[in-house]
Amino acid sequence: MSIVDVFTEEYKSQFEEYTTLLLHLAGASVTSYEDRARKAENIIGAYIKYTGVRPDHIQLDRISDLILFDDLRDSNPHKTKHNEYPILSGTQLDRRRFGGRGQDSNMSGETSLEAAHCVGADGRDYRYPNRRTRTIDELMYVDENAKIRNKVRATQYRKDTAPSPVIMYNLNDTGGELTEEFTQSATILNMYAA
């Protein structure tokens, strides 16, 4: 009984089961690249012979994972340094794209490609400088502190601009001489002016 005779009317689900079985066997035993490629070629050939069409692209992707099993299972984080043309697993590709273990992870990893997208060779960030929008809490904090500072400033401004008491000097009373109070206030004003 050949593999062609194994396919029935439920050929899509059977092909998926065969692919799952081959992936499991590849993980459980030591197989070579050539063995896995030959098995993948046999199962795809049998599928095409029975149905007349190629398998679904999702199943073909799983078959390619079967063929590249050793490369995808290599968890060396420096794979791209050691190999000229490395084949990255899904996790390694996420780490390369987003940093960490994916987009929503805080786990340390490589710096994401998105972070380095606009950084030049000189280390300068060439992105257009957009100011981020503040959160509601930040806006409330700024408003409260601005009001406090405005009260202090307004009080000081009122003190500085308030009219001083009017002091009258009559030169007839002093015989044309300037009083000492007047000359002292003039020297104080000259100190502030300098």
Write the pLDDT tens digit of every residue in 16-32: 888 888 888 877 777 88
Tens digit of pLDDT for each residue in 48-63?
888 888 888 888 888 8
Is 127 inside any structural domain?
no
pLDDT of res. 107 = 56
Q: String of b and e for 84-119 (b: at least 16 CB within 10 Å)?
A: eeeebbeebebbbebbbeeeeeeeebbebeeeeeee
Under DSSP, the state recorded for 4 is G
Is 22 inside any structural domain?
yes
Is 97 inside any structural domain?
no
On whether the pTM is more than 0.85, the answer is no
Q: How many domains does the chain have?
A: 1
Rounded alpha-carbon distances, angstroms, from residue 191 to 42, 165, 167: 101, 20, 20
Is 85 inside any structural domain?
no
Positive or negative: CA dihedral 95, 56, 27, 29: negative
Residue 21: give the domain boundaries. 3-73
Tens digit of pLDDT for each residue in 118-173?
888 898 888 888 888 999 999 999 888 887 777 888 888 888 888 888 777 677 77
